């Protein structure tokens, strides 16, 4: 399967450019990141003129379940969880976040792009596919599933929430995480496709290596002109 963009209306680049804030938040507790997302989304529901935001970060080890996720996909009891577990308002089943995983939370006003959730999910996948293409890796989609795969391994998970066309949650790209932590769950409820990492295909790769390529791909696909801010600077713009 090709890593090249399919030339359809769904994948054509957007012509208009938009301003946005890029926040490289580093190593951030999951609950703190969630609170930031909720705050940014709420502000944009009230003031849709506010600039879009992309938070890029890593989390300490944590498991999250989507709003309707089944606890049957947890291989541990609630009182013996190896890491914190949070049920949140995104779609999808259980997943793991942890060090070595590049997590992106776009807070976008889809009225500026396309008011189509299917289209938005495909664009997030395309960001990952183009990022991996910079390493001469032909990542691909699997029909009927959300995410990005490489040689039979799922390298990126995607789960979103959209309210009044403002997005939150987003994607997680496994760059060089400890994959054994996925062993305590059935990731995304998929039993027949293993989770993988970029480090399996490009040994020694780091988050710092990948992040600029992902930013470039996101910029190209969504047409955003970024101003890079810290979390404290971002707070003053809201």
Active site residue ranges: 188
H or E element: which one contains 54? strand 52-58
Question: How far apart, in whole angstroms, are the C-alpha atoms of residue 173 and residue 207?
Answer: 10
Let me know: does 3 contact 133? Beta carbons within 8 Å: yes
Give the Cα separation of 128 and 149 in Å (integer): 10
Q: Are 226 and 20 in contact (CB under 8 A)?
A: yes
| Measured distance CA(236)–CA(25) in Å, rounded | 15
* Phi and psi, residue 36, nearest 5°: -60, -45
SS3 94: coil
d(CA 164, CA 141): 27
Token pair 């809201």 is found at: 238
Strand partners for 23: 55, 229
């Amino acid at each position: 399967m090709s890593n090249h963009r399919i030339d359809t209306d769904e994948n054509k680049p957007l012509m208009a450019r938009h301003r946005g804030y890029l926040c490289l938040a580093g190593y951030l507790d999951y609950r703190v990141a969630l609170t930031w997302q909720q705050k940014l989304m709420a502000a944009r529901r009230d003031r849709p003129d506010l600039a879009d935001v992309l938070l890029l970060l890593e989390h300490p080890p944590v498991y999250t379940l989507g709003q309707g996720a089944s606890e049957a996909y947890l291989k541990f009891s609630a009182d013996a969880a190896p890491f914190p577990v949070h049920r949140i308002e995104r779609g999808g089943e259980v997943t793991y976040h942890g060090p070595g995983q590049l997590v992106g939370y776009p807070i976008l006003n889809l009225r500026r792009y396309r008011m189509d959730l299917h289209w938005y999910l495909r664009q997030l996948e395309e960001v990952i596919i183009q990022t991996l293409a910079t390493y001469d890796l032909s990542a691909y989609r699997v029909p009927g599933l959300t995410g990005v795969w490489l040689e039979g391994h799922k390298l990126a998970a995607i789960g979103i929430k959209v309210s009044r066309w403002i997005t939150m949650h987003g994607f997680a790209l496994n760059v060089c995480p400890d994959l054994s932590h996925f062993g305590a769950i059935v990731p995304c409820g998929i039993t027949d496709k293993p989770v993988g990492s970029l480090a399996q295909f490009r040994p020694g790769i780091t988050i710092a290596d990948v992040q600029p390529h992902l930013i470039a791909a996101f910029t190209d696909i969504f047409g955003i002109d970024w101003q890079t801010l810290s979390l404290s600077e971002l707070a003053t713009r809201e």
